[in-house]
Amino acid sequence: MSHVLAIDQGTTSTRSIVFDARLRSVGTAQEEFPQHFPGSGLVEHDPDDLWSTAAGTAREAIERAGIRPSAIAAIGITNQRETMLVWDRQTGRPIHNAIVWQDRRTAPICARLSAEGHEDLVRARTGLLIDPYFSATKLAWLLDHVEGARAAARDGRLAFGTVDSYLIYKLTGGRVHATDATNAARTMLYDIRRGAWDEDLCALLDVPMAMLPQVRDCAADFGTTRPDLFGREIPILGVAGDQHAAMVGQACFRPGMVKATYGTGCFALLNTGDAPVESRNRLLATIAYQLDGRPTYALEGSIFVAGAVVQWLRDGLRMIRSARETQPLAEAADPAQNVYLVPAFTGLGAPHWDPDARGALFGLTRATGPEELARAALESVGYQTRDLVEAMAADLGQASEAVLRVDGGMVESDFAMQFLADILGAPVDRAAIRETTALGAAFLAGMKAGLYPDPETFAETWSAERRFEPLMGENAREARYAGWRDAVRRTQTR
């Protein structure tokens, strides 16, 4: 048993990777699945797609690794956070599509909770803001809108879970209903200081606590798989939400270290050690990871649209056929044109938290073309990241560590990463292993299985594939950023 299987269930695709005893990727499989948009601002996933792509890619990755399932010591799971499901405990069938983290249907519920003065309670217990992004109001909406759901929930017939919890339930044949501390911390129902589901918040949203999964460490026993799935039972020993798994994969174990992951959205996490930091700049306090019953905390800033802005160029505007076309277009853009794209397609995330804001383009002229739009799209990610980094520095009262560690699909763009370093005025390290989310999940499971070393030893092996140093002058940097801040102000509704 010298290998670990990581299942990385993301927003637009599921990827499974087999890692060997030296944490090298030896077998990978990936499958995209459809996105469902039943209305404006509504985003759903078919639960069958989440499960079938997880099981299918897991089997395929083992096959491509050229090993037998008997060589797998453990499974690690990482997942898109805040996306939630409710299913029947007896049949295992979900009562509705999964409601995705990007979904904004619960904005009226959130507005009501804020108007009633519950923000301080939510903030103190969970470290979060009241926003449709999180799972709790999605759950309340579903219980109110699926016929008979609330009565069934009160009778104990329904189970709630984030995607990790649903996959654990399916993998174990319904024997385990559990989650880890990082996913629980993103529901808006979990007290991150006490480490327990919060009775007051559940009562506020009329959520029966019997629906909620058991909460465990990130490296813990989450049961074993059904023997028919892989030909033998395999223990599930590691679970973490995708951004937390990436923080582990980036070896950000020291307070002050910060990483940013660029997938569909962008999420920057700053390690704050053994105590949460209360943000004065609308960032989130969250659990970075939890080992041996001890949580390590983080400040987090969430950008809703990062890689998704490139998908919009491809699928919405049909301007490109693939993401790699954006770099040559951006490099050919007219440097005299200052075009800003604020990609608030599903509202603005941190530090603005405006769910009603919508995307906008500024600075267009008759000469603006695909080149300038591509550049504005890539640059929007750098601008949004600076918003987060500045808010983090203000909360800490000091700058974070000088280097930003980055990972995720969008970091393949040298143009985007160079602009990120330029607009931050700080070095950016691109990880040598790009799939740090899966790597983190594999490390957690493998560490629990005794295959991998402790976090400190693991951190010594981390390396960057390339460092991007800032090349832009300070005057140009500040002028460009001032233009961005003006563009954001124009899109805000509050």
- Contacting residues for 152 by C-beta, under 8 A, at least 6 apart: 88, 95, 158
- Fold matches, 3-242 and 251-431+463-494: yes
Q: Average pLDDT over the chain, rounded to whole?
A: 92
The answer to whether residue 450 scores a pLDDT higher than 60 is yes
Block residue for tokens 């989650």: 179
More confident residue, 390 or 170: 170
- Contacting residues for 46 by C-beta, under 8 A, at least 6 apart: 33, 34, 36, 97, 98
Q: In angstroms, what is the C-alpha Rg of the chain?
A: 22
The predicted model gives 112-120 an average pLDDT of 94
Q: Which amino acid is at 63?
A: E
The predicted model gives 163-179 an average pLDDT of 96
Q: Give the other-Cβ count within 10 Å of 300's Cβ.
A: 26
Residue pair 374/330 in contact (Cβ under 8 Å)? The answer is yes
Specify the length of the chain in residues: 494
Cα 403 to Cα 284, 343, 428, 460: the distances in Å are 21, 26, 6, 16
Cβ-based burial of 31 (10 A; exposed 0-12, middle 13-18, buried ≥19): middle
Residue 165, H or E segment: helix 163-171
Q: Give the other-Cβ count within 10 Å of 6's Cβ.
A: 32
The answer to whether residue 353 scores a pLDDT higher than 80 is no
Q: In percent, how much of the chain has pLDDT > 70?
A: 99
The answer to whether residue 328 scores a pLDDT higher than 80 is yes
Q: Which two tokens stand for residue 201?
A: 């918040």
> What pLDDT does residue 281 have?
82
> What pLDDT does residue 395 have?
85
pLDDT-derived band of residue 376, with 50, 70 and 90 as boundaries? very high
> What pLDDT does residue 379 have?
94
Alpha carbons 125 and 127: distance in angstroms, whole number: 6
* Three-state SS sequence of 76-96: EEEECCCCEEEEECCCCCECC
Q: Nearest-CA neighbor of 293 among 128, 442, 180, 407?
A: 180
Cα atoms in the Cβ-side hemisphere of radius 13 Å centred on 487: 25
**Homologous superfamily assigned to 251-431+463-494:** ATPase, nucleotide binding domain (3.30.420.40)
The angle at the Cα of 83, spanning 82 to 88, to the nearest 5 degrees, equals: 120
pLDDT digits 0-9 by tens, 201-216: 999 999 999 999 999 9
Beta bridge partners of 430: 406, 466
pLDDT-derived band of residue 114, with 50, 70 and 90 as boundaries? very high
pLDDT-derived band of residue 399, with 50, 70 and 90 as boundaries? low
Residue pair 189/247 in contact (Cβ under 8 Å)? The answer is no
Q: Which CATH number fits domain 3-242: 3.40.50.720, 3.40.50.620, 3.30.413.10, 3.30.420.40?
A: 3.30.420.40
pLDDT digits 0-9 by tens, 45-94: 999 999 999 999 999 999 999 999 999 999 999 999 999 999 999 899 99
What is the model's pTM? 0.86
Q: Nearest-CA neighbor of 407 among 426, 430, 428, 385?
A: 430
> What pLDDT does residue 347 have?
80
Alpha carbons 281 and 460: distance in angstroms, whole number: 33
The answer to whether residue 400 scores a pLDDT higher than 60 is no
Beta bridge partners of 290: 295
DSSP, res 97: P
Residue 293, classed as helix, strand or coil, is: coil
Q: Which two tokens stand for residue 242?
A: 């995708």
Cα 98 to Cα 146, 465, 485: the distances in Å are 13, 36, 34
Alpha carbons 269 and 255: distance in angstroms, whole number: 11
Cα 109 versus chain centre, distance: 23
Cβ-based burial of 379 (10 A; exposed 0-12, middle 13-18, buried ≥19): buried
Helices assigned H by DSSP within 335-464: 370-396, 414-424, 436-449, 455-460
pLDDT digits 0-9 by tens, 404-425: 899 888 888 899 999 999 999 9
List the domain boundaries for the chain.
Answer: 3-242, 251-431+463-494
pLDDT digits 0-9 by tens, 459-480: 888 888 999 999 999 999 999 9
The predicted model gives 30-37 an average pLDDT of 92
Angle of helix 135-145 versus helix 107-115 axis, rounded to 10: 110
- Contacting residues for 145 by C-beta, under 8 A, at least 6 apart: none
Cβ-based burial of 471 (10 A; exposed 0-12, middle 13-18, buried ≥19): exposed
The answer to whether residue 401 scores a pLDDT higher than 70 is no
The predicted model gives 418-435 an average pLDDT of 91
Q: Which two tokens stand for residue 437?
A: 């989310």
> What pLDDT does residue 398 have?
62
Q: Which two tokens stand for residue 286?
A: 């969250």
The predicted model gives 428-442 an average pLDDT of 90
Beta bridge partners of 447: none
Alpha carbons 7 and 439: distance in angstroms, whole number: 10
The predicted model gives 105-126 an average pLDDT of 94
The predicted model gives 303-314 an average pLDDT of 83
pLDDT digits 0-9 by tens, 230-252: 999 999 999 999 999 999 999 99
